[in-house]
Structures are given as C-alpha cells and as structure tokens.
Amino acid sequence: MSTTTAVVTLDVTTAAGSPSPQGTPRRRSHLRKRLELALLLGPATVLFVAFVFLPLIAAGYYSLFDWNGFGPLVDFVGIDNYTKALGDPLFQGAIGHNLFIVIASLVVQLPLSIALALLLNGNIKGRTALRLLVFTPYVLSEAVTAVIWLSLLQPHGVVDGLLEGAGLGGLVQLWLADQNIVMFTLFAVITWKYIGFGIILFLAGLQGVPEELREAASIDGASGWQTTRLIVLPLLGPTVRIWIFLSIIGSLQLFDLVWIMTLGGPAGASTTMASYLIDRGFRRYEFGFGSAVAIILFVICFVFALFYQRFALRRDTQGAITGRVE
C-alpha cells in the first residue's frame, strides 16, 4: 500500500513542480484529472463511508459494551465480548463449519467447474443450452434456493423419493436433521447453486487462451491432455485465483442458505459465523456481543483478503494495489 502512495506523491510533485514548457495546458489537464478523479470516486466514496466504514466503526464501539440494543450504552465491558465469543464452543464450531465450506469448495467445486468449463468449451451438441442450464441456479436468489431445497429435502420428500425410485433408497438420510449430515447437505446445495458461476467465469477465462498456442502445441505433437495441462490450465491461472478469492470470501460469509434451511441447527451443527452473529444479536437482543462477533468476522475476511491480494493476486492486479513495478 505504502508504495502506491509513494508513487502517486512522486507523480504529483513532478507534475506540479516542474515548470512545463507548455505551461497552462499541462496544468489544466492536471486539474482536469483531479476533477475527474473526484467525480468518479466521489459517489462510491460517499456510499462506502456511509454504509461500510461508519457502521464498522459503530460496530467496533458497540462491541465494547454489554448492550441489548435498547437504551444508552452504559455497561462498558472492554474486550469481554470478544473473549466470550472466542471461548464459546458454539462459535468455535461455527468457525469450523465455515472452514469446512471453504476447503470443500476448493477441493470439490474448483476441479468440477474447470472440468465442466473445458467440456462446455469444446464442440459439443447443444452447447448453448447446456451452458444456460448450468448457469440457471446461479440466477436464483439464495433465499429462493434455500426455500426450494428445504421442501425438497424434507423426510419422505422429493429427494428421498427420487433416490428410492432409482433403487438407491439405502442412501436416504435425514438431510437436514442429522447433525453429522447437515453440513454436507448444505455444501451440496451451495455447489448446486454456485457451480454455474464458476463455469461461466472459467469459460470466459478460456476465451483468453489464444488459439495459436493450441495450434502450435498440436503441430509439435502435443496430445489433447498435454495441451490442456501445459497450456490451457496455466493460462487460466488469473481466473482460478479470482475464483478462489470470491469462493473463500463467500464461504466465510455464508448465511442466507443456512438461516432459511436450518437456522444453524440441529444443536448448532450447521451454525456459521454469520448465523451465530444474527442469532445472538437479533434473537437474543445481545447487540454488543453480536457486534463483537461481526468485528471478528470482518477481521478474518479482511486479513485474508489483504494477504490474498498481496501475495496470490499480485501478478494479476499489478500496479493497481501492489505498487508499480518499474
């Protein structure tokens, strides 16, 4: 970050400090640039400050009080809320559930969406229809998805019926009621919903792989698999890194699906950090405590995002956040 500032400052001083032979036009263009920046960034900055930054500060402040949301903030408890949250087995479990979704997404969804994207990128019959089909679940809102799957997954419901019809009755589980199954069920629904997004992203990435390279590879006698492994996949790198970023952030903030399908139950077996936060904040009216949980969630996401951008996305976003490499 500091490099960016340094570079910008340097630019500014050289621009302002050196009397240009052209004089006025140069200065005018500089003014224009500033105006442009102010106009372009202004609205976003106002929204960011009003709806992200200020609430964050407020939450940080509330988190230091034992407060039920009503009346004045009088009961200052310092970092008690934080130690209480981090020491609560239910919250520890929630962090574990989020990590499970993070890892399962990387292990299952990533290879699956790349494979499907490669398949849909090839010349197969009904390609457009298939692309449309896999993308459809992504268009549904998470709440709608949750309500649909909640009804499908009821005991003796549609899913159980289909499995039994296919002679797989032995696989039937209490999808949402069994504490050992519920996270896997939720993960399956998440995958169903978000796989289309990954596929579309990777299809777009595949368009960026120059046809010439594949041609050259095939002239050199590379097999289809070799071309995919040595040419296509490495060139898909930036897209993969972005997908991983979005997937992890999404997994850490998982809420809607869980809240509608299980409310974090049974017995906290599907509680996520966000559902824990809403449950304690809004259902128990523990707004100070809920704010502390929100801050913990924010710090986890923020630190991850910072490190990921700094190290993993460095090459992809060069100059934007990592400083210009001369």
Partner 1 sequence: MNTRSIRKYVAVGAVALMSVGALSACSGGGDSADGATKLTFWHNGTADPILSIWQDAVDEYEAANPDITIDVVPIQNEDFATKIPLALSSDSPPDIYFNQGGGLLATQVQSGQVADITELTSSWIGDLGAAAGNWSVDGVQYGVPYASQVVGFWYRTDLFAQAGIAATPTTLTELNDAVDKLKAAGIAPIAVGGKDRWPDAFYYNTFAVRECGEDVLKKGLAEADLSDDCFTKAGQDVIDFIATEPFQDGFNGTPAQQGAGSSAGLVANGGAAMELQGTWDKSVMQGLTDTDLDPLLGWFPFPSVEGGAGDPSATLGGGDGFSCTQKHAKECADFLKFLSSDDIQTKLVESEVVAIPVKEAASASISDSVIKSVYDFNSDAAYVQTYFDIALPTGVGSALNDAVANLFAGQGTAESVAEAVKAAK
Please report, as ranges, the residues that interact with partner 1 according to CB under 8 A: 32, 35-36, 39-40, 42-43, 46-47, 50, 68-71, 150-151, 153-157, 174-179, 182, 262-263, 265-269, 278, 282-287
User: What minimum distance in Å lies between the beta carbon of 38 and partner 1?
Assistant: 9
Q: What is the rounded CA–CA span in Å between residue 185 and residue 261?
A: 10
User: What minimum distance in Å lies between the beta carbon of 174 and partner 1?
Assistant: 4
User: What minimum distance in Å lies between the beta carbon of 136 and partner 1?
Assistant: 23
Cβ proximity to partner 1: between 41 and 320 the closer is 41
User: What minimum distance in Å lies between the beta carbon of 90 and partner 1?
Assistant: 9
The number of C-alpha atoms within 13 Å of 75 and in the hemisphere containing its C-beta is 12
> 38: which residues sit within 8 A by CB, 6+ positions away?
none
266: how many CB neighbours lie within 10 A of its CB?
A: 14
Q: Return the structure tokens found at 72.
A: 């004045």
User: What minimum distance in Å lies between the beta carbon of 307 and partner 1?
Assistant: 32
Cβ proximity to partner 1: between 51 and 302 the closer is 51
User: What minimum distance in Å lies between the beta carbon of 127 and partner 1?
Assistant: 37
Q: How far is CA 131 from CA 43, 176, 216, in A?
A: 36, 30, 28
CB contact at 8 A, 253 and 274: yes
- One-letter amino acid for residue 260 of the chain: I
- One-letter amino acid for residue 233 of the chain: L
User: What minimum distance in Å lies between the beta carbon of 287 and partner 1?
Assistant: 7
CB contact at 8 A, 117 and 233: no
Cβ proximity to partner 1: between 152 and 242 the closer is 152
Q: What is the rounded CA–CA span in Å between residue 170 and residue 165?
A: 11
DSSP string, 84-135: HHHH-HHHHHHHHHHHHHHHHIIIIIHHHHHHHHHHHHS--TTHHHHHHHHH
Q: What is the rounded CA–CA span in Å between residue 248 and residue 58?
A: 26
Cβ proximity to partner 1: between 285 and 311 the closer is 285
Cβ proximity to partner 1: between 21 and 71 the closer is 71
Cβ proximity to partner 1: between 50 and 57 the closer is 50
Cβ proximity to partner 1: between 183 and 248 the closer is 183
